[in-house]
Structure 1
Amino acid sequence: MFVAAPIAAHEFWISPKDYIIDPQDQLVADIRVGQDFKGNASGYLPPRFVRFDLVQGDDLVPVEGAMGDRPALQMQAPGEGLVTVVYQTTDSRLTYSEWEKFVNFVTHKDLAWALEEHAERGLPQTGFREVYSRYGKSLMAVGAGAGADQEVGLLTEIVSLANPYTDPLPQGLPVRVLYEGAPRAFTQIEVFQKAPDDTVSVATYRTDAAGVANVPVKPGHEYLVDSVVIRGLVPEAEGDPVWESLWASLTFEFPAE
């Protein structure tokens, strides 16, 4: 699918209706693309995802639905405890008609080194293509929500190292950013914080040598953590993408006191 370049700069996230539910209730969540916690929701569309799973401890349950269901997730929880919702999109492509859009994207995501590499590779400033994919996770609590997030085998992912529903977080929620299973040291994460009155604030942080960063949290607030990988591609034919971006996201709520 070819789309205008600005779409690629939009965030992707799993958006639960309620992050904390009773054991007898369903897990309900939308799949969204947009900005500042506002975006269009897509339905349950298998051609658009590689995987869509519920992970709880050692159990992995594929999300089931009817084509076009909205919200995309409407399922009974596997059991009481912490559930990690996992969603990986299929690949999408875009063509850059304006060099400034690529500059703004990689600069905003702290990937400006790609501009020098682009020039060194002798690539044009317009008409080049990028392929991108999204790797979303969301933490939902069933009942008390006891349990832990874990690596789920995504090409890039953000792993919560504490449970926002059961653990005290005086220093914030520690998260680890991974790429191909290895920590991404000294890389940028972008954090969107949504208050109970729906106002949104945005901040950036950097991971340490172990790929870990602490996300400051406030009671009753919802969070989206985002991190992007970009890597060069060698085109096999004219018109093939020359860049690939991989978008990791994690959503959760820090409960009100």
Structure 2
Amino acid sequence: MTLHHSLTFSIGLLVTSTQIQAHEFWIEPSDHYTGVNQTIDITLKVGETFRGSAQPYLPEETANFVLINQTKQSISGLLGDSRPAARAQVSAGLNQLIHQTTPFSIRFGDGDERWANYIALDGLEQQLNQHADLPKTVPVTERYVRCAKSLIQVGGTRVEDTLTGEMPFEFVLNGSWSQLNTGNYQVTLFEQQTPLEGVLVKAFRHSDRQVVAEAYTDQDGQVNLNLPTADRYLFSGVVIRPDTDPNYDWISHWPSLTIEVVN
């Protein structure tokens, strides 16, 4: 599998091994619950099973980076820094952090088992089979885009997650809360404004890296997942489609959502 970046060669050498091995991408804020007008550190993580390496803020790899509360503000990252990649001041109520990358590209060559493993791990066979004219086995070329969201609650008022429309694919945590407790949660995956069916969604728990729940989205784009303990959680899925760029077979989008359950 060959990875191509828009970065310079020297920077690419530093990140290539991480990008190849990485699976999920998520936002890790310093706090999911905090006070008014506090500044939070924002770390961008790439890895597997909710463990990964901090990624530097690189403008050429960033398509969208915003904080949404009563207003929307662009986040100017700390160029080249990874811990944190950015800082932002939050305000009362729900603060939605959004980060979307520019496309990366991969080629899975003959004999590369990682393509088949990837399809199996992320439950993509049904999505692939909707497109009979495209290759399902190696060699395969793919571009991928990461679409991350994180929720930060400021103060004790009840809040509700909503669709921001800032990314092509986005998770929304249904219901209202002042703090998230253990129990069952319903999450909806949207493509633009439309709920999306047939995507495998996994809930990873931070403390032990376990997938505590997983399900395919139903006709309403929803899954019901049980979060059994107080912890940080990552919801992650993959949407794969034919690429409109003739140089590639497929393009995938990797929506994620990070939250914290406090009791």
Fold shared per TM-score above 0.5: yes
Q: Which TM-score band applies after superposition, normalised by the shorter structure?
A: 0.7 to 0.9
- The 3 A distance-change label for structure 1 pair 125 and 6 is farther
For 2:136 and 2:54, locate their aligned partners in 1 and report how far apart those are by CA, in whole Å. 34
Aligned to 1:222: 232
Q: CA RMSD in A?
A: 2.6
Aligned to 2:221: 211
TM-score by length of 2: 0.83
Aligned to 2:31: 18
Query: In the TM superposition, what is the alpha-carbon distance from 1:150 to its structure 2 partner?
Result: 1.3
Which of 208, 213, 218 is the equivalent residue of 1:199? 208
Asked if the contact 1:165–1:255 (Cα under 8 Å) also holds between the matched residues in 2, the reply is no
Aligned to 2:155: 143
Pairing 1:17-56 to 2, within 5 Å after superposition? 17-56=30-69
Asked if the contact 1:4–1:96 (Cα under 8 Å) also holds between the matched residues in 2, the reply is no
- The 3 A distance-change label for structure 1 pair 124 and 229 is closer
For 1:42 and 1:82, locate their aligned partners in 2 and report how far apart those are by CA, in whole Å. 25
Query: In the TM superposition, what is the alpha-carbon distance from 1:223 to its structure 2 partner?
Result: 0.7
For 1:168 and 1:155, locate their aligned partners in 2 and report how far apart those are by CA, in whole Å. 29
The CA deviation string for residues 188-241 of structure 1, in whole angstroms up to 9 with x for no partner, is 2111012xxx212113112222111122123421110011110113553xxx11
For 1:151 and 1:56, locate their aligned partners in 2 and report how far apart those are by CA, in whole Å. 12
Aligned to 2:257: 250
For 2:223 and 2:137, locate their aligned partners in 1 and report how far apart those are by CA, in whole Å. 34
Identity fraction in percent: 28
* Structure 1, unaligned runs of 5 or more: none
* Structure 2, unaligned runs of 5 or more: 5-15
Pairing 1:136-175 to 2, within 5 Å after superposition? 136-144=148-156, 146-153=158-165, 154-163=167-176, 165-166=178-179, 170=183, 172-175=184-187
- The 3 A distance-change label for structure 1 pair 115 and 230 is closer
Alignment of 1:87 onto 2:96:
no
Q: Which amino acid aligns with 1:110?
A: G
Asked if the contact 2:115–2:138 (Cα under 8 Å) also holds between the matched residues in 1, the reply is no
Query: In the TM superposition, what is the alpha-carbon distance from 1:253 to its structure 2 partner?
Result: 0.4
For 2:152 and 2:234, locate their aligned partners in 1 and report how far apart those are by CA, in whole Å. 13
Alignment of 1:65 onto 2:77:
yes
Aligned to 1:96: 108
- The 3 A distance-change label for structure 1 pair 72 and 21 is same
SS at match of 1:152: coil
Query: In the TM superposition, what is the alpha-carbon distance from 1:121 to its structure 2 partner?
Result: 2.8
For 2:224 and 2:175, locate their aligned partners in 1 and report how far apart those are by CA, in whole Å. 10
For 1:27 and 1:143, locate their aligned partners in 2 and report how far apart those are by CA, in whole Å. 14
For 2:185 and 2:224, locate their aligned partners in 1 and report how far apart those are by CA, in whole Å. 5
SS at match of 2:156: coil
Aligned length: 246
